[in-house]
Chains A and B, each alone.
Chain A
């Protein structure tokens, strides 16, 4: 059974006061460290982790310098994000296109979403693009990136900083923090770019993406349509996004279960497809 954090901290506080000769300051410190060790990353910290991960990705991939296209992707992405479970993050959602033919997309913790030109052109209309971006927004909402950080790193940092969290650090403390930060970035980067999220996280992101699409008024079938086409074109099993994602057939089967029985008005998809074509 998972002990509630506040209860745990409370028990420690009361026990220490009752049973020892410790001064209040020491008691306070112990409780604070208990909070820190068990508290997940704050939105602000997640933001800095996300920036570092993005900086690493952008050291390999270059940005596609197309102002109109980038604005369009940001409009689609923000339409989905505002309908997600976490419409606001510390630094907000920002979408950018990577100048790569590879079919891939990366959700950096905190809200930076990078989609390759290859992925963009693999989608056939705005609703499919929205589906891809909704899947990435879901990874951010679910904090799938930062969940890859080894708990030991965070515990180490929590122990190090104690109650001094909001102050400036000494050179020695800073050095230890940077090491932990670097390790955290490695953990997230490996998950995003090399190993991929767990199957459970991917299936949940698909499921959530359908919810966001429905809320936004996009065709929820768009995700399935995209995956089916990707699979039929032979890109369903290797390279890019498929290297790090579960088998497309399994994703399709699971997505189908989440779809509504009534068909979506295709005239709306066609209406939006016009501006998609214009933007691309």
Chain B
């Protein structure tokens, strides 16, 4: 048992050192901002599964670099992908990282949703899409906070 633990620790440390500095975007889309605060100007848009290079952490925000562009992203929009089996085992093309497994999850995806919709035609997905279309911009929310004398985050 002791041997296994030691073996694992060696493997884990190797994995962490090779992947500790990247993050993966886990939201459909998000923004890289000029400073580490909500509503700061947007420098670039990033999308699901984009990989960002971490330069430092500042509270709940990461300072990152994306396509050479530095900026900030909130921690809830990203996830770490630091456990890569291919790095440990040396296998090529047969393994997925722990992060990929977590992201791909248990298979509930657009393909499953489409099949589910077909077998349940009574469900009102049209209304769901309509609700998802209800959005308010950063500018609107910030103005709403200011006029209501609320506290900007």
Contacts and interface: CB of A to CB of B under 8 A. Distances in A.
Interface string B90-130: 11001110101111111111111101100110111101101
A45 B106 contact: yes
A3 B11 CA distance: 18
A204 interface: no
Given A28-B91, A87-B74, A48 B108 contact: yes
B5 interface: yes
A13 B141 contact: no
A79 B95 contact: no
B104 to A, nearest CB: 3
Interface in B3-36: 3-5, 7-9, 11-12, 26-28, 30
Nearest to B91: A24
Interface residues of B, number: 67
B134 A24 contact: no
A94 B38 contact: no
A14 B8 contact: yes
Given A71-B134, A74-B134, A112-B131, A52 B113 contact: yes
Pick the most buried of B27, B30, B48, B91: most chain A CB atoms within 10 A of its CB: B27
Interface string A1-44: 00000110111011100100000110110011001100101111
A138 interface: no
A58 B134 CA distance: 15
B107 A79 contact: no
A205 interface: no
Interface in A84-130: 85-92, 94-96, 112, 114, 126
Nearest to A154: B106
Given A51-B113, A90-B28, A178-B115, A82 B128 contact: no
Given A41-B105, A44-B103, A169-B107, A87 B141 contact: no
Contacts of B67: none
Interface in A165-181: 165-166, 168-169, 174-175, 177-178, 180-181
B6 to A, nearest CB: 9
B153 interface: yes
A25 B150 CA distance: 56
A166 B96 contact: yes
A247 interface: no
Given A7-B8, A54-B128, A112-B128, A45 B94 contact: no
Given A41-B106, A82-B141, A52 B123 contact: yes
Given A35-B102, A51-B125, 11 more contacts: A10-B9, A32-B95, A36-B105, A44-B26, A55-B124, A58-B127, A74-B134, A95-B134, A165-B96, A180-B106, A185-B116
Interface of B: 3-5, 7-9, 11-12, 26-28, 30, 38, 48, 74, 76-77, 83, 85, 88-91, 94-96, 98, 100-113, 115-116, 119-120, 122-125, 127-128, 130-132, 134-136, 140-141, 144-145, 147-151, 153
21 contacts: A10-B7, A24-B94, A32-B95, A35-B102, A45-B108, A45-B109, A48-B113, A54-B128, A55-B124, A56-B123, A58-B124, A70-B134, A78-B141, A83-B153, A85-B76, A89-B27, A90-B48, A112-B131, A163-B101, A169-B112, A218-B150
